[in-house]
A and B are shown apart, each in its own frame.
Chain A
Amino acid sequence: MISLIQIISTWTIPVLIAFIPLYASFRKIPVYESFIDGAKDGFQTAIGIIPHLVGMMTAISMFRASGAMDALIGLVRPLMESFGIPGDVLPLALLRPITGAGSLAFVTDLIKEQGPDSFVARIASTIQGSTDTTLYVLTVYFGAVGIRNSRYALKVGLLSDLVGFFAAVAACWLLFGLV
């Protein structure tokens, strides 16, 4: 079972890279031209993130260097670690639903501090990658059509983020914790 899941990690990307152009060729799409067309947007996207990430990385690095981060995590560390959750991911659980750039900066900082293959960095990467920024999505989608009363939508988003947080921790325990 676990080796099957690890195969998914190894195979998903190469299979997609081969399958997509192959499928497109059968549909008579000029694949290379298509690729170049889309690839141009990638540069813009990466450059567009710079201001967001610089702003958030600065704040988070300062927060960590001042000792404030340790003070915040220290409050709950024993409680979280008794459930097998590394205390260091707590700020991420709070940041993830609110700010995409902030949580990305936090994960980047954690990867830098603890190494990309540390258990806690893997959990953080999984949390960051597996969900979207609830508050941002709510603002964009409901804002676009002028909904002011979102009823229970925010509660649903935040509760499923909470489930996603525990699911990410559990998935990492299952796949990396036992080896």
Chain B
Amino acid sequence: MVNWIWMGMIVFSVIFGAANGKMEKVAEAAFGGAQTGVTVCLGLISILVFWMGLMRIAEDAGLVQKLSRLLAPIVRRLFPDVPSDHPAMGYILSNMSANLLGLGNAATPMGIKAMQELQKLNATPTVATPAMCTLLALNTASITLVPTTMIAIRMNFGSVHPADIVAPTLLATLISTGAAILIDRWYRKRNKYPPTSTKMIPHPSGAVSPTTQMKPSAPPGGG
């Protein structure tokens, strides 16, 4: 898909440029664009170096685990068919906490490990389970606390207040994550999925069952 978009943009540019008699500008733009690409990346170095250093401190201080413990009661309800002491739950929690802290590099391996654990509960290994779909929905919406890259680019182009997009970004990300959870719920109920695993616990519809409420927070982080 990306291949087609990229090629399509370039081919259409040349066709349109020829039709509008703007060939010279198109050629200029090709090199100008390449130059902007490099300049912007070099401008990203300062903020990425600083921010990733700060985030390593957060990781080493165990903030991911701390946040996992706080998130556990909510997250368990989002995954009613994953036993709360299953290793998958630990990885799911780490994945979500790392996402929330903006630790993209730590979130992805945790998410993949969570998928691998969820796959063990899957009777039909090529078909996604509802829990896998929920985990994916949360990751595509991806709650963002600080949009570092965008702040860096705004700074490079001389913004007066580069960070003033923090609040709208937070607002938008909360709404889209909420929407992802609701839309996922809706499809989950509409597409009945046959119970595939003996390890599945019954869905506590309506009332909260003691299993989801009283479970002491198992060591999250998983690994």
Contact = CB atoms under 8 A, between A and B. Distances in A.
Interface string A4-45: 011011101100110011011001010100111111011101
Contacts of A120: none
Contact of A62 (B26, B53, B105, B158): B26
Interface string B119-130: 100000111100
Contact of A163 (B51, B56, B108, B175): B175
A130 B36 contact: no
B187 A155 contact: yes
A149 B127 contact: yes
A16 to B, nearest CB: 7
Given A98-B1, A145-B119, A147-B128, A117 B161 contact: yes
A62 B139 contact: no
B203 interface: no
Contact of B13 (A68, A148, A157, A175): A68
B140 interface: yes
Contact of B140 (A138, A147, A151): A138
What secondary structure prevails in chain A residues at the interface with B? helix
Interface residues of A, number: 104
Given A102-B5, A108-B40, A142-B115, A58 B141 contact: no
B32 interface: yes
Given A57-B33, A115-B157, A144-B115, A99 B56 contact: no
Given A9-B167, A66-B16, A141 B2 contact: no
Nearest to B47: A42
B55 to A, nearest CB: 6
